[in-house]
Amino acid sequence: MNKGRLEAFTDAVIAIAATIMVLELRPPEGVSLRALSTDWPILLAYIFSFTLIYVVWYSHHNIFNKAKIISTRTFLLNGLWLFALTLVPFSTAWVGQHVADTLPEVVYLVVLLLWSGTFQLMDISIMKDNPNIVRDVSNQLGVRLLLYGGYVFGIILAFIWPIGSLLTVGAISAMLSIDLLRVAPTSSKQ
């Protein structure tokens, strides 16, 4: 598989998913901060999901930039990852509209867990096909435990305090962003 074509297709799907999410945002009925604040769950869900998409897009770019070989297995895993990504706008909109309900929160977190899991499998596939690639700091066990453990914690929390699940995603988004800023090279040569 031509790596450039796969990256271009992936970039397009990511851009479309992010665009679909922003199209779900509606302006408030009024022109006051109070009117704006009534839609805080939708805005918060959008901010958290967009942050995750952006951080993961960077990680995708980084690992593909290092890879010389893209196997059929990696190609298929990338497709599964993109499929899971395309569910993010749906689950984001649903959780934003029903922030106090368990099922939308659980679906949102399951989608994020599926999306992260398929990325992990794709990352492992690339590393297997390209053994000379040095593992990123963001791909170390501690970060993965935080990510997957956080999502599982959020799923459990949805049954007790649904909004806590969304806040858990916010915390994960913030920690991944901080980790990215900490480890990202300052050069623009990537």
**Per residue in 25-82, pLDDT tens?**
888 888 999 988 888 999 999 999 999 999 999 999 999 999 999 999 999 999 999 9
Nearest-angstrom CA–CA distance, 42 and 62: 30
Per-residue confidence (pLDDT) for residue 42, from 0 to 100: 93
Q: What is the dihedral of CA 137, 115, 55, 75, to 10 degrees?
A: 80
- Asked if residues 74 and 126 have their Cβ atoms less than 8 Å apart, the reply is yes
Phi-psi region of 130 (alpha: psi -120 to 50; beta: other; left: phi over 0): beta
Residue type at position 58:
Y
- Strand, coil or helix: 14: helix
Question: Which CATH architecture is the domain 3-183 placed in?
Answer: Up-down Bundle (1.20)
Show me where the domains of the chain are located.
3-183
**In whole angstroms, how far apart are CA 22 and each of 47, 71, 152, 174, 175?**
10, 34, 27, 20, 23
Identity (one letter) of the amino acid at 52?
L
